[in-house]
Structure 1
Amino acid sequence: MSAPDDTDLALVRLLMEDAGQSAGALGRKVGLSQPATWRRIRRLEQAGVLRGRRLRLDPEKLGLGVTVFLGVKLATKGRVGLEDFERAVTAIPEVRMVEHVLGLYDYRLRVVARDLADFERVLRRRIMTLPGIGNVEANVLLTEERRPGPL
């Protein structure tokens, strides 16, 4: 695929706002027919520019009132492979995001829980028992602001 043009980028912006819009509605906003819009979206998907569509859920309304970011430093990188750690940590349902990062920590995790007592249970019984786990630093999310729009 060649580089996305202005119309492609306009479609990406509109889909970032609401990925559930129909091709017809998107086409009207960018001046294309429904079939032309659909073809462009398929081309962006096939090129890997668009990688799936997601629902944005409200964790609090689902009974998950606490979000904690964990910085995790592995203790034994040589004996326990990164893949072993990643496989084990992604199996924990409360861990919503796993990022392998460069810096003070090896991984950054986003963990959700009902409350702090529930988070402590997840931390003690699930996370601290993972293979190769070393130092862990927790930061509790107070508020979250999102910047809408393109990357």
Structure 2
Amino acid sequence: MQIDDIDRRLLRHLLAEPDLSTTDLAARAGVTSATAWRRIERLREAGILRGQHAIIDWRALGWEVEVSLRFTLDKTDPRAFDEFLAAVREVPEVIEIQTFLGRVDVRLNVIARDMRHYQEIYRDRILTLPHIADIESLMLVSTIRKTESLPI
């Protein structure tokens, strides 16, 4: 699907403020409410706009520690990958799961209330995951830039 300047304006405003009403979105994009609604529906149907969601600041809720864990799996068992992913989905403190091609197979982002809590998660939940050949831990110190927006 081709998008035009009106679609780009609507998407830019939605990225900046996802909770805008259709009326406010239309006013900011310089179109009528009916046009904005039709365009947004067309973008949804085309799979370009997949949804609008809340972004939670976990630190504001008392989750002070974030760790990125990189896993290399023991792939001698053909079910290793699927079994690892099934098990890791059961760990509620895992907020992101990514898979890769290369030396690292899987990366997880794990949050914890504090270092003691993280140690419990690591010892009781992470180290018990199946098919781990190697783990590398990276402690998040600060996030300099995090964006989901594109230059549209």
Q: How high is the TM-score relative to the length of structure 2?
A: 0.90
Aligned to 1:21: 20
Report whether the alignment pairs 1:106 with 2:105.
yes
User: Kindly tell me: are residues 133 and 147 of structure 1, through their superposed partners in 2, closer, same or farther at Cα, counting changes over 3 Å?
Assistant: closer
- 1:48-67 map, 5 Å: 48-67=47-66
Unaligned stretches of 5+ residues in structure 2: none
* Separation in 2, partners of 1:147, 1:127: 26
SS in structure 1 at match of 2:101: coil
Moved over 6 A (4+): none
1:4-30, Cα deviation, whole Å (9 max, x unpaired): 112112211111111101111111111
SS in structure 2 at match of 1:98: strand
How far residue 147 of structure 1 moved from its aligned partner, in angstroms, is 5.2
* Separation in 2, partners of 1:92, 1:129: 11
1:97-141, Cα deviation, whole Å (9 max, x unpaired): 000012321011111001112111111111111121221111111
Report whether the alignment pairs 1:118 with 2:117.
yes
Unaligned stretches of 5+ residues in structure 1: none
* Separation in 2, partners of 1:77, 1:50: 40
Contact 1:84 1:131 (C-alpha < 8 Å) held by counterparts: yes
* Separation in 1, partners of 2:2, 2:15: 19
Report whether the alignment pairs 1:41 with 2:36.
no
How far residue 77 of structure 1 moved from its aligned partner, in angstroms, is 5.0
Contact 2:75 2:81 (C-alpha < 8 Å) held by counterparts: no
% of aligned pairs identical?
35
Report whether the alignment pairs 1:3 with 2:2.
yes
How far residue 145 of structure 1 moved from its aligned partner, in angstroms, is 2.5
* Separation in 2, partners of 1:119, 1:108: 16
